[in-house]
Amino acid sequence: MAMPKLLIVDDDRNIRLGLVRTLQSLDYEVHSAENGPRALQLIEGAQEFDLVLSDWRMAEMNGLELLKRIKDTCEKTVVILMTAYGTIENAVAAVKEGAYDYLTKPFSVAQIRRTIERAAQEHQLRSQLRSRDPATVPSALATRSPYYQALLETAYTAASSDATILLTGETGSGKNVLARQIHEWSARRDRTFTIVNCTTLSDSLLESELFGHVKGAFTGAYRDKPGRLEAADGGTVFLDEVAELPLNLQAKFLRYLQEGCFERVGGEQTTRVDTRIIAATNRKLEEEVARGGFRADLYYRLNVINLRVPPLRERSEDILSFADKLLMESAVRNGRAELRFGPEAAAALVAHSWPGNLRELRNVVERAVVLSRGRVIRKEDLSEAVGRTNGLRAAEPHSKMTLEAVEQEHIRRVLDLSPTLEEAATTLGIGNATLWRKRKRYRMD
């Protein structure tokens, strides 16, 4: 990745020159401006900057006003604001106006380097995709992982077609975020994107939810109602946890994929729609087919383009970037905008196996924000599950345990220390229904 071109804006000469020297020592190309108007002259002239790092309090033009002007002039430039007078109101205002991040002085070299690297990485991904399509990319998809970068390239290419896409991967790995982005990259972006979760409804209600029903089809059907496939005509339906689709509905759904038509529950009139399907599952469908729990013909129909979304532990280079972003969001919500991770806490986050993936990470960060007492989050402020998993991995660096066995052991430990299933699910970063299925699968009842 090419090193980004930076502009430092601060009316304090010593701070400005100190930042320039520090960032130049890290091999960045760095320019500086003593105030907002001078920064705008450089930006509006021949200079093009990937990232602007600006002080908030400046005499001629404050950082927030400079941010607004930059976004009007060059929307793709990433702006990070810094101040010695951090307030929640300022942080919220900065983020709302499009700031990538908000740093409170004093900050360490490691902290600012990590922030700039994360911003540069997201800027590069946005630039690559913007050069081919106007759709923007959510920060949740920014990555340093070569595998995930290749995955995004494939997803982008597939988005321009009408092919059915199957997303596979563990619970909480971000399949729903990727599905929504595929829709945004597609020609269907201006039409409906809707989600149907196959685990949350009974068989009869799921059929009605997908295909709709006519008046009198069942008790409570007081009027005709279109299903999600019909309501999303021209758009996309994301079928989450498709492995849970009952066998009696699999045949009807297969017919839709093959012919583009169906009948509402209780009806005889055939409805034809043009709704794209993106399906997702955390289970291995080929094994479900072998066991007779999933139709082989439906599997092959869904598996036109298979994108495996990697778990967080396979994206260790992204863990701190995600954690920092979640920390900023949670700190603003909870009135703790000055928080940062200490070195031991950061190391613990990277070392953790994250069986609950991004959902677990979000819960761990939220808990640390609420419970930490100082400005620096310590390892002790993280959940006990993080520490225990780190210890297990450190003690068994050459363990031959399978991934499934590690997950099973982790879930068992969390269950043993949690007073209720709901709290165990929260600690793991997964839903109650998912935990119930995993307990049943691992025979922990």
Count the neighbouring beta carbons within 10 Å of the beta carbon of residue 156.
19
- CA–CA gap between residue 342 and residue 108 (Å, rounded): 11
80 in the same domain as 43:
yes
What was the pLDDT predicted at 328?
A: 85
Q: What is the mean pLDDT of each run of 10 residues along the chain (445 residues)?
A: 80 89 87 91 79 88 88 80 70 70 77 78 58 50 83 90 94 92 92 92 87 86 90 95 93 94 93 96 93 94 94 88 87 80 85 89 92 88 69 39 65 69 73 76 72
CB-based contact 350:319 (threshold 8 Å)? yes
- Residue 407, CB-side half-sphere exposure with 13 Å CA sphere: 19
Indicate if 331 and 288 belong to the same structural domain: no
Q: Are residues 218 and 347 in the same domain?
A: no
| Predicted pLDDT at 240 | 94
Q: Where does a domain end: 308, 330, 345?
A: 308
102 HSE (CA, 13 A, CB side): 30
End-of-domain residue from the set 279, 308, 337: 308
Helix (H) or strand (E) run with residue 348 in it: helix 343-351
Q: State the pTM of this model.
A: 0.62
Of 308, 327, 357, the residue that ends a domain is 308
**Among 392, 438, 397, 441, residue whose Cα is nearest residue 415:** 438
First to last CA, the chain: 49
Question: At 341, which CATH number?
Answer: 1.10.8.60
Host domain of residue 38: 5-130
Q: How far apart are CA 231 and CA 250, in angstroms?
A: 20
Domain count, the chain: 3
